[in-house]
Structure 1
Amino acid sequence: MAIPINEDPYSAPIIRMDKEDLDNAPIAIFRPRSLAAICEMTKFSKREVQIIYRSFKQGCPTGIVTLEQFQEILTQFFPRGNPKRYAEYVFRTFDRDHDNQINFEEFVTGLSVITRGTTEDKIEWIFKLYDVNDRGIVGQAELLLVTQSIYEILGRNVEPPISRRVIIDHVLDAHKKMCQNGESFITREQFVHMCMEDKSLCESLALFDTIL
């Protein structure tokens, strides 16, 4: 979700909902913690949190976004592709309490990891993205699912079109690099270690950096 964080801050109070929002909201309102608390949770400044909150609130007045809303947002950014599966995988990494919705705190925390986290933080997030079944391990099937979804989001923006064979070869190459001892799966610890040691492997798995 592309959200500007370098614009001038808004002058009105930020971490609150307007009365109109409270009266007309179709579902329960999520009330985020104080601005200072959110800054401590993330690597954003107060000014940046204010701007992110304004953008988030504009699209999600209740302070909560569902999977369907998240998919619709990405569809607006990528009308020539099909981002629904990719959006589902990203949504799952942000939904920390697994209640099938993302509140503002979950969103801004996830955004902080992706944009301001250390290299290790980002690699751990990549692993979580590929660990689609929350098993703590990633194999060829998981790699293929997420990689396919990344190419789907690009859609007709890729010229010439990328064949499924190319995608499979990309996945097999990445899997071979990660599982050098013949294992079928790789754990989070192994994944982080391999990506920290092999920059090219990390880059091949982080195609989403140019998308999100």
Structure 2
Amino acid sequence: MGNKKSTPKNYLSEKDLMFLEANTKFNREKIIQWHDAFLVDCPNGKLDKKLFVKLYTQLEPAEGKADKYAEFVFKAFDVDHSGYIDFTEFLLAFNIRSKGKIEERLSWTFNLYDLDNNGQIDKKELKKMFEVLFTMLNVNKKDERYNVDKRVDEVIKKYDVSGDKKLSHDEFVQGVKNDEPLQRLLLDHQLD
């Protein structure tokens, strides 16, 4: 039966610190500050979906419409699909989302909208992406520029190099990388 000690989720070991220093753009002091702040809201070291959505909607100025988007973001942060986000998942994802290179941020965004995790974004997933973004940004849905079906068709036509009516990771990243208005919408939540 052994007397194995398990490290509590609210403890940041030297190994954890070294890993986060090596894999984020934050220094040791900033990582410790982030960890201390994380523990204020999550004393057990686990951030569940409900609290994440609450905190995210407080940070995202979208007139109370960010909750659906926050659910997508939670999924992307919860890389091990445990139903909660630990500090390491949080900081790694936050680092990519806020400080990563454009390719890293687009890759993260691709994973955010690849709802079935099959390595492709199909029309249904693209439609959901635009619906969530347009709802969060509170656009006038009668305005033709924000017609979801039209936008989905445009993106598929423009980026789907293989012709399979889906976007692979590379098609998505390369397409959005070369499309400034869509890039601003996806990464900065700004309309063109």
| TM-score relative to the length of structure 1 | 0.72
The alignment covers a number of residue pairs equal to 177
The 3 A distance-change label for structure 1 pair 61 and 95 is: same
The match for 1:148 is 131
CA distance in 2, matches of 1:32, 1:103: 11
In structure 2, relative to structure 1, the CA distance for the partners of 1:41 and 1:175 (3 Å cut) is: same
1:37 matches 2:15:
no
Counterpart position of 2:4: none
Structure 1, unmatched stretches of 5+, are 1-27
Q: Do the aligned residues in 1 keep the contact of 2:69 with 2:133 (CA within 8 Å)?
A: yes
- Is 2:58 the partner of 1:76? yes
Deviations along 1:61-114, one digit per CA (max 9) or x if unpaired, are: 222111111111123344723322211111111111111110000000001111
Which structure 2 residue ranges, 5 or more long, are not aligned? Answer: 1-7
Once residues 208 and 30 of structure 1 are traced to their aligned partners in structure 2, the CA distance between those partners, rounded to angstroms, is 32
Q: 1:167 to 1:43 in 2, by over 3 A?
A: farther
Q: TM-score, normalised by structure 2?
A: 0.79
Q: Which residue of 2 aligns with 1:96?
A: 79
Deviation at 1:205, TM superposition (A): 4.6
- Distance (whole Å) between structure 2 residues aligned to residue 75 and residue 127 of structure 1: 21
- Contact 1:64/1:104 (8 A) holds in 2: yes
1:172 corresponds to: 153
The two structures, once aligned, show a CA RMSD in angstroms of 2.4
